Amino acid sequence: ARKVIMDCDPGIDDALALMLALSLPGLDVIGITVVCGNVPVEKGVKNALKILELMNRTEIPVYAGEAKPLVRPYVDAMDTHGGDGLGESAFPDPAGSPAEADAVSYLSDVLLSEEQVSVIALGPLTNLARLLERSPEAFARIQELVSMGGTYKSHGNCSPVAEYNYWCDPDAAAKVFEAYASLPELSGKNIHMIGLDVTRKIVLTPNLIEYMKRLHPFLGGKIEAITRFYLDFHWEQEGIIGCVINDPLAVAYFADHSICSGFDAYTAVETGGISYGQTLVDACEFWKKPHNSHILTETDPYRFWLLFCCRVLGADET
Ligand code: BDR
Ligand code: CA
């Protein structure tokens, strides 16, 4: 199994992504690092612990990370994720507590001491940008970095052009993308960017939730509890039956690259002006810069849901 650290801001869709990661035999989740994003970092830590308890995986350590973006004031997303960050699902407080070390120290230590550790980043890239500042040699040892964030042709979800994770901390995202273009130790490696172009195709509907409850009454029921708020939000705000689930696709892609397809390009992240947080994907090579990203543009939602239902809820693969 591939060793992976989940860097996240749980978050309704982060919670579903953790459930998937913990259910995939090809993944060995060695730690969870939390960053401020959807909810303040202490709440995110609690939510990560709640999911580990739900999945009976409390042996996995959780580390609290950065409490604010590098430069910008912090803006949470509790309007979409609920006051508790888990759709106001009223899960009991976790019995466990986070590890003592902070997320950036943990990332630095584990990357320097262990071989072939990858990172799936499901929130703003603040923890990873701090790691880059503090220990570029540790950062360069990340075997593969998959980041949910950004957009290529799709519109944003926080501004006309920006997606939440990179909009929340554009300076961190810009630093991390730039490192892949300029750090000699990272040459030849790319960030795998799972942006809104692909995640918008992953829509959880009430029918799917009914099916999940039939497959696995306990976990299906929990998924219903976590996502009800999010479904209501989509219905009230956009008149849509169903909600876009972003983060689990990054996990599915990490486990099986053939679930998404795309191309390599140089990508910069805008940090100022009204378009801050926008990803500028130089698909036409105007800038003639070394490629730093693999931009995913296509996915097969059916294959994604099949993987999710089989692995998390025990559906029969046939
Ligand atoms: C991203 O922002 C967060 O609200 C979600 O958890 C996801 O990581 C989507 O823009
Ligand atoms: Ca997230």
Short-list 70, 27, 11, 51, CA closest to 253: 27
Spatial separation of the C-alpha atoms in residues 215 and 301, rounded to whole Å: 19
Q: Is any ligand 1 atom within 6 A of the Cβ of residue 77?
A: yes
Concatenated DSSP letters for 212-268? HHHH-HHHHHHHHHHHHHHHHHHHHHH--SSEE--HHHHHHHHH-GGGEEEEEE-EE
Asked if 3 and 28 count as a contact pair (C-beta separation under 8 A), the reply is yes
pLDDT of residue 316: 84
Cα of 199 vs centre of ligand 1, distance in Å, is 10
Q: Is any ligand 1 atom within 6 A of the Cβ of residue 157?
A: yes
Mean pLDDT within 38-67: 98
> pLDDT category, 238, cuts 50, 70, 90?
confident
Atom of ligand 1 nearest to the CA of 12: 6
For 3, 6, 297, the CA distances from 117, given in Å and listed in that order, are 5, 11, 25
Give φ, ψ of 4 to 5 degrees.
-145, 145
Cα of 158 vs centre of ligand 2, distance in Å, is 14
pTM (2 decimals)? Answer: 0.98
Mutation choice for ligand 1 from 75, 165, 244, CB with most ligand atoms inside 8 A = 165
**Pair type for strands 2-8 and 27-34:** parallel
Cα of 123 vs centre of ligand 1, distance in Å, is 6
pLDDT in tens, 126-148: 999 999 999 999 999 999 999 99
Spatial separation of the C-alpha atoms in residues 260 and 242, rounded to whole Å: 21
Quick one: CA dihedral 257, 33, 107, 19, positive or negative?
negative
pLDDT of residue 86: 95
Q: Where are the beta strands (DSSP E) in 24-82?
A: 27-34, 62-64
Give φ, ψ of 261 to 5 degrees.
-135, 160
Average pLDDT, the chain: 96
Q: Is any ligand 1 atom within 6 A of the Cβ of residue 195?
A: no
pLDDT of residue 233: 87
